[in-house]
Amino acid sequence: MRFYLIAIGLITGFGCSNKSNENPNQKLNLKPLADAIQLMELPYIGEYIVDSIRTASNNKMLLINSSDYKPSTTIISNGTSFNLAWDNNNKLIYISTLDTNFTTNEGIKIGSTLIQIKNLQPVEIDKIIGWGHSIKLSSGWSAAFCVDSTCTGRNLIDTDKVNWIFKNN
């Protein structure tokens, strides 16, 4: 396998927020993460997650859509924090980030607006009730939006901002 692991602590994590256009489950907060792992390269969807990464998860679960929690862990790759989630066969099925350091190949990052995405490519908005709106980007990443306390209580407007970025299978 191509993983080179170094356990580190990171000042990042997850918390809650009641502000509009922010998913309470997807808000970046400051706190140490003892289970963060340093990877030289970001793994790809479908790759097997090695034991050392899975055991570092400390039984964390991540909501990867409106009704599905999967085992997960936090990793750091190239200075950016990502969450990885895998299936029962230990294959990576979901990667997400809330890290403002990350930018997709299109130039989309946390805080980019819907109109910025519309100016780059045709937009098809997927709405997953209670989880968020998402737009598949040409790079293979998806930009996700949470617009109210339920994340999907209204349609997106051009000034809505990206709350998290993810890839899934």
Please give the Cα distance from 96 to 143 (Å, whole number): 10
Backbone angles phi, psi at 47, to 5 degrees: -75, 145
Other CB atoms within 10 A of residue 158 CB: 11
pLDDT of 60-110, one tens digit each?
899 998 889 999 999 999 899 999 999 999 999 999 999 999 999 999 999
Please report, for the chain, the start and end positions of each structural domain, with discontinuous segments joined by +: 6-97, 114-168
pLDDT band for position 35 (cuts 50, 70, 90): low
Q: Which residues touch 2 (CB under 8 Å, ≥6 apart)? A: 40, 41
Backbone angles phi, psi at 86, to 5 degrees: -130, 165
pLDDT of 98-110, one tens digit each?
999 999 999 999 9
pLDDT of 102-160, one tens digit each?
999 999 999 999 999 999 999 999 999 989 999 999 999 999 999 999 999 999 999 99
